[in-house]
């Protein structure tokens, strides 16, 4: 008989029964162990997912779509007291009410506004008297009242810094044909080799050119170049490159003729159309001092010529570095249309007669100074100087004698300009006299 038979229909045997009981007992014990393990795992999970989250994460229970969700407000931050705090020093000028000392609501702080102002008005040249906060043309503005350090009462002016952008702001600039953004782009594009990291622009009214954008190119705290452009056309009117004097030789590398050729080529390359000019001034300007000379620059002044006669105002100035041969300065003024010049008529009045006419007119202003009058220059010019924005009519610019002179009073006072008299080239009448004491 087989010992492993499982046939229960066979006659009862005590030994077989005993074996069956042991097998069933072992099976029950295994089932209990498995169920116990499952129960322990459930208890551990319940503890793990209880209301106390582990550090670094937050358990969010699932919510049905019908349950309103309430997001609890974050606990109030506990601010530790700060010890040894140094109070912000007073700015040294009057601060009006409402001027923010800290950035707020998209606006810069007063300290940042001062930094922006100083880019155009450095502390060694201009003093800040006061600041107020105001609104104009949709701009929130810091309005700084400033005055030249060397100035006095009556020399004050107000300059604005936009509180949102931190840029200079001037009334009228929002309607300029060339916007502030375009002016920045033009200034940076014209001088790409400088690689500036900041371009600042400021809208202003030039007494000769009218509306302009003055611009400054900088790298860090170093000013690389400043200049101006026409606010209508975007054409560059002036620029001056910053050239460090350190490390330069004492004598020029380029001579006067070489520098003059460079200046002439620059005008030809950077102007459109014919610009008849006559070189009237060429000079070398050394840098440094007599004890410590440094090679400087050459300056060339070209005066516009029309119908054989020079104009009083239009022309170019070009400055050339005497060491590198680079153009480091430029000034262009071309204000008069050709149709505005009067028909050319040869003069019938001599320079001597023109001088006599001016001296007589000056005697009517200051009789006691007539004997000390000294004629400085006499030349025939187109009298085309005029206020910016004035449209000159066809044939309105006359050809006249310009007589420049001084006297004892003017020579004794360096702040007084030389006097000027304009004389009709045919009649000898003094048409204009600028003679101030």
Give 359-375 pLDDT, tens digit per residue: 999 999 999 999 999 99
Amino acid 345: pLDDT: 79
Q: Cα(409)–Cα(371) distance, rounded to whole angstroms?
A: 12
Amino acid 309: pLDDT: 95
Residue of 361, 342, 364 whose CA lies nearest to 403: 361
Q: What letter would DSSP give residue 367?
A: G
Beta strand 236-241 with 222-230: parallel, antiparallel or unpaired? antiparallel
Amino acid 152: pLDDT: 87
Beta strand 419-424 with 399-406: parallel, antiparallel or unpaired? antiparallel
- Top pLDDT among 86 and 346 is at 346
Lowest mean pLDDT among 6-20, 127-141, 218-232: 6-20
Collapsed DSSP state (helix, strand, coil) of residue 150:
coil
Confidence of residue 45 (pLDDT cuts 50, 70, 90): very low
Residue 4: pLDDT above 70?
no
Tokens of 221: 């705290």
Q: How many Cβ atoms are within 10 Å of 138's Cβ, its own excluded? A: 6
Task: Average the pLDDT over 292-308 and give the result.
Answer: 96
Lowest mean pLDDT among 92-106, 247-261, 411-425: 92-106
Q: What is the pLDDT of residues 132-152, one digit of tens each?
A: 999 999 999 999 999 999 988
Residue 27: pLDDT above 80?
no
Q: Cα(298)–Cα(286) distance, rounded to whole angstroms?
A: 9
Q: What is the pLDDT of residues 182-200, one digit of tens each?
A: 999 999 999 889 999 999 9
Tokens of 269: 């390359």
Amino acid 89: pLDDT: 53
Contact between 394 and 349 under an 8 Å Cβ cutoff? The reply is no
According to DSSP, the residues that pair with 229 across neighbouring strands are 213, 236
Residue 35: pLDDT above 60?
no
Average per-residue pLDDT in the chain? 83
Provide CB contacts within 8 A for 63, sequence distance 6+.
69
Lowest mean pLDDT among 82-91, 126-135, 235-244: 82-91
Distances (CA, A) of 109 to 82, 96, 106: 22, 14, 10
Contact between 180 and 167 under an 8 Å Cβ cutoff? The reply is yes
Residue of 181, 165, 170 whose CA lies nearest to 108: 165
Q: Cα(24)–Cα(7) distance, rounded to whole angstroms?
A: 16
Domains of the chain: 91-169 (3.10.450), 243-334 (3.10.450), 351-434 (3.10.450)
Q: What is the pLDDT of residues 263-299, one digit of tens each?
A: 999 999 888 777 799 999 999 999 999 899 999 999 9
Task: Average the pLDDT over 386-403 and give the result.
Answer: 91
According to DSSP, the residues that pair with 216 across neighbouring strands are 200, 226
Q: What percentage of residues in the chain have a pLDDT greater than 90?
A: 68
Collapsed DSSP state (helix, strand, coil) of residue 333:
strand
Amino acid 36: pLDDT: 52
Q: How many Cβ atoms are within 10 Å of 318's Cβ, its own excluded? A: 24
In a 10 Å sphere around its CB, with 0-12 CB exposed, 13-18 middle and 19+ buried, how is residue 229 labelled?
buried
Contact between 296 and 316 under an 8 Å Cβ cutoff? The reply is no
DSSP secondary structure string, 192-250?
GGG--SEEEEEEEEETTTEEEEEEEEEETTEEEEEEEEETTT--EEEEEE----TT--S
**Which DSSP helix (H) or strand (E) runs through 381?**
strand 374-382
Tokens of 235: 């054409």
Residue of 195, 193, 214 whose CA lies nearest to 203: 214
């Amino acid at each position: 008989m087989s010992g492993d038979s499982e046939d229960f229909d066979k006659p009862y045997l005590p030994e077989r029964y005993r074996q069956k009981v042991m097998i069933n007992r072992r099976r029950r014990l295994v089932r209990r162990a498995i169920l116990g393990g499952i129960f322990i795992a459930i208890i551990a999970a319940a503890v793990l997912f209880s209301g106390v989250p582990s550090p670094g994460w937050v358990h969010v229970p699932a919510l049905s779509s019908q349950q309103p969700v309430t997001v609890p407000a974050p606990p109030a931050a506990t601010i530790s007291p700060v010890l040894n705090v140094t109070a912000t020093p007073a700015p040294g000028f009057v601060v009006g009410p409402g001027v923010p000392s800290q950035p707020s609501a998209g606006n810069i702080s007063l300290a940042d506004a001062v930094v922006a102002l100083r880019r155009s008005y450095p502390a060694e040249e201009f003093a800040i008297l006061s600041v107020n906060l105001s609104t104009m043309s949709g701009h929130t503005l810091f309005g700084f009242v400033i005055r030249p350090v060397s100035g006095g009462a009556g020399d004050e002016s107000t300059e604005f810094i936009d509180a949102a952008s931190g840029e200079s702001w001037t009334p009228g600039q929002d309607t300029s044909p060339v916007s502030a953004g375009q002016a920045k782009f033009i200034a940076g594009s014209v001088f790409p080799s400088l690689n500036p990291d900041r371009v600042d622009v400021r809208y202003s009214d030039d007494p000769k050119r009218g509306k302009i954008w003055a611009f400054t190119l900088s790298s860090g705290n170093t000013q690389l170049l400043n200049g101006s452009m026409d606010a209508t056309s975007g054409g560059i009117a002036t620029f001056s490159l910053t050239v460090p004097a350190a490390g330069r030789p004492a004598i020029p590398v380029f001579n006067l003729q070489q520098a003059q050729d460079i200046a002439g080529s620059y005008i030809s390359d950077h102007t459109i159309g014919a610009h008849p000019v006559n070189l009237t001034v060429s000079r070398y300007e050394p840098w440094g001092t007599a004890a410590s000379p440094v090679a400087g620059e050459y300056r060339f002044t070209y005066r516009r010529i029309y119908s054989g006669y020079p104009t009083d105002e239009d022309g170019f100035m070009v400055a050339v570095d005497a060491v590198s041969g680079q153009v480091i300065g430029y000034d262009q003024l071309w204000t008069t249309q050709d149709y505005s010049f009067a028909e050319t008529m040869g003069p019938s009045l001599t320079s001597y007669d023109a001088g006599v006419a001016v001296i007589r007119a000056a005697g009517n202003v200051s009789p006691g100074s007539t004997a000390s009058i000294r004629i400085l220059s006499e030349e025939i010019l187109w009298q085309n100087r005029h206020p910016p924005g004035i449209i000159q009519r066809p044939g309105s610019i006359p050809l006249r004698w310009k007589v420049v002179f001084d006297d004892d009073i003017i020579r004794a006072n360096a702040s007084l300009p030389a006097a000027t008299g304009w004389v009709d080239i045919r009649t000898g009448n003094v048409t204009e006299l600028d003679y101030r004491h």
